[in-house]
Structure 1
C-alpha cells in the first residue's frame, strides 16, 4: 500500500476529452484534500489546459501534444515532465496502453491505473476494471476516476464537478461584450460536437429554437470552436431574430467565462454540457448516439432530451450510417418546452454543494 502521508509530488495524466477532464475535477479535489501539502502536476492534452485554470486543487499544468503530433514533440513533452519530477505517485486516468507507457517514461511512479488487458504489466498498482448495473455496463466516468483514489485509501462521495475562471478569462469576455450588463435572459446555443456529426441536433432546429426563445425576450449567443464556425454560421443565418455568433472568437478560457454568465446552455452531448455543469449553469442536452448511463451523475440541473425507442442507440458512431432518427425525432416544440421548464426552475442545489461559492 502506498503511504499517502509521505507523498510530496503527484503526476496526474488527465483524460483526453474536454468533458472527461471536467469530470475528473472531483477526484482532483479528493486528492488535494488527502494530500494538502503535495505538489500536484496535471499532464493534459494541449488545448485543454484552460479547463483547469484557476483551480486551487492543482499546482501546475503540463501539456501533452495531440495524438497526431510528431514524435519529436511528444518526446520533448515527456522529457520536460520527467525533469519536473521526481514524483512519489502517478495517476493514469486514461485507459489506453500508450498513456501508461508515457507515464512510465515521465517518471510517474508508483503508477496507478485500471488494469486493461496487457496494460496491467505497466502499472505498479493495477486496479481491476469495475462494471455497474445488471447489463455489465461501465460505471459513470466520475465513479471510475474516483475508484482509482478509493483503491489507494482515498474514498469520497463528492462527485460534483467544479470549475473556476480567472481574472484574465473574465476580462476577455467583458472586452468582447463591451461591458454590456446582464439584464435579460442569456441563452447559449452550442450546435457542435468534437466527437462527430452523429451527436449534433440539426442546425435548422437550433435556429428555430433560438428564434422562439429570442421572441420571448432572451438574448441568444451562438457558441462553438474555430472548427465549428460554418455550423454556427448556419444556425445564426437561419435565425430571423438577432443573435450574437461568437464561434471561433473565444479561446477555451473565455468560453468558460461566457458560459458562467448564461442562464441556460443548450447543446449536444459535448464538452459544452460538462463546462456548464462545472460552472453551475443549467443545461438542456440532446442525446443521440450516446448513452446517458455513462455520464448519469450530476444531472440535477440538466434536462435530457432523448429518443429511447430507437433500436440502434447507443451506437457511439461518429457518423450515422442510417437515418439519424435518434436526434431527428426530437422536435423544436419538445426542446422549447424543456427550455422553458429549465429556465423556470433555474439552478437547483439540493445538497448545498455550492453555498460557499454563492
Structure 2
C-alpha cells in the first residue's frame, strides 16, 4: 500500500483534478488517511486468497452508482479484476497477470527488465499505454499532522519533554513473510543496549505476532525499551514512527512506512532482494551480505543457517546510525 502511493502521485500529476478512491482491506485505512492524494477509502470485504465470486460481483454492481472513469488494478490475480468489470468502469487498467484479457480492456504486458522494482510497475500504470516512462518515479510520502502526533503522545502517555531531550531509535524486528527475513533477536538486543548507553530511547514496533521477539529484546535490556508491539493500530504505529529519529528494520511493511515518513532507515536484507522492494527514501541505507545463496526468497532458510542475516553484525548497523 505504501508503494501504491507512487501510483496515486503519478495519477494526480497527469490529471490534477482527478479524485482517487481506493478499494483496499480496512486495516490499511490508517495509511490511506495519511495520503493526501486519496479522496476516499472503500473496504474490500474479502481477505487475501478468498475467491468470493458473488461478493465481488455484488460490490461491482454497488460501485456503478459512482460512475468511475478508470480503475487501476494492482494485484495480478484474475479475481481482483472482477469488481471493476462488474462496476462497468469504461477503462480498466492493469497487467495481464492471470489471463485477464476482457476483464481488463487496458491490459499491459509487464517488462520485468524495464521495470524491475514493484514501485516502478505501480507508477507505470498511471501513464497511458506505451507512454515513455519518466524517471525518477514519485516517492511515497505520508503526511502526519501535529495534531495526530499530539494525540498519539497523549494516547500512550509519552512525556513531551523526554521526547525533546532524547533521540529515539525505532526497532522493527518482525517480518510477516518468515524467519529468513528476520535479523537475529540477539543482534537487535545488542544494538538496543548500545544505543541506550548512548542516551537514546529505544522503541519496539510490530504486530501481535512479533510480541515474543520484542519481549526477548526488551528482556535483554532489562526492560529499558518501550515496547509497542501488538499494542497499536497501524495508524498509531505510523504516527509514533513519525516521532523517531532513526529506524532499523527488516525488509517489512514497517520499513516501507518508515521510508515514507522520510526517516533515516537502516534496512536489513536476508532472503529478499533490495533491488526489488527497497525502502523508498534517499535517507535509507541497505545492509545485505550478497551471499551466493541470496536472495532465495524463502520463508525459512533452505540451508538451515540463515548466514545472510547472522553475518550482519550489530557494529555494522551502529556505524550507520546518526550521531
**TM-score, normalised by the number of residues in structure 2:** 0.89
Encode CA deviations 1:222-253: one digit per residue, 9 max, x unaligned. 11112221121111112246111111111111
When residues 84 and 60 of structure 1 are mapped into structure 2, their CA distance, relative to the original with a 3 A threshold, is farther
* Alignment partner of 1:99 out of 72, 80, 105: 80
1:152-171 to structure 2, matched below 5 A, reads 152=129, 156-157=134-135, 158-165=137-144, 169-171=148-150
Q: What does residue 178 of structure 1 align with?
A: 158
- In the alignment, does 2:253 pair up with 1:235? no
CA–CA separation in structure 1 for the residues paired with 2:110 and 2:179: 30
In the TM superposition, 1:137-152 aligns within 5 A as 138-152=115-129
Asked if residue 22 in structure 1 is aligned to residue 2 in structure 2, the reply is yes
What is the match of residue 109 of structure 1? Answer: 90
Q: Which residue of 1 aligns with 2:22?
A: 42
2:258 corresponds to which residue? 276
Write the mapping of 1:126-145 to structure 2, written as runs, cut at 5 A.
126-132=107-113, 138-145=115-122
SS in 2 for 1:120: coil
Secondary structure of residue in 1 paired with 2:34: coil
What's the offset of the Cα at 1:80?
7.5
Query: Are residues 1:215 and 2:192 paired?
Result: no
Q: 1:242 to 1:69 in 2, by over 3 A?
A: same
* Alpha-carbon distance, 1:68 to partner: 5.7
CA distance in 1, matches of 2:99, 2:54: 26
User: What is the SS of the residue equivalent to 1:165?
Assistant: coil
Deviations 1:153-188 (A, max 9, x none): 695544211112356743442111334232211000
Relative to 1, partners in 2 of residues 1:81 and 1:163: Cα closer, same or farther, differing over 3 Å?
farther
Q: 1:253 aligns with which of 219, 226, 235?
A: 235
Quote the residue 2:13 is aligned against.
33
Q: 1:24 to 1:81 in 2, by over 3 A?
A: farther
Residue 280 of structure 1 and its aligned partner are, at CA, apart by 1.1
User: Per-residue deviation at 1:129?
Assistant: 0.7
Structure 1 unaligned spans of 5+: 1-20, 345-358
Q: Secondary structure at the match of 1:59?
A: strand
CA contact (8 A) 2:72 2:92 kept: yes
2:236 and 2:54 map into 1 onto residues whose CA distance is 27
SS at match of 1:163: coil
Question: Residues of 1 paired with 2:242 and 2:100: CA distance?
Answer: 39
Q: Cα RMSD (Å) of the superposition?
A: 2.5
Alpha-carbon distance in 1 for matches of 2:27, 2:151: 17
Q: Distance in 2 between matches of 1:77 and 1:262?
A: 43
Which deviates more, 117-126 or 63-72?
63-72
SS of corresponding position for 2:302 = coil
Moved over 3 A (4+): 68-77, 106-109, 152-158, 166-169, 296-299
- Tell me how far 1:194 sits from its aligned partner: 1.4
TM-score (norm 1): 0.81
For residue 235 of structure 1, give the secondary structure of its aligned residue in structure 2.
helix
Q: Could you say which residue in structure 2 is the equivalent of 1:204? A: 186
Asked whether the equivalents of residues 34 and 154 of structure 1 are also in contact (C-alpha less than 8 Å), the reply is no
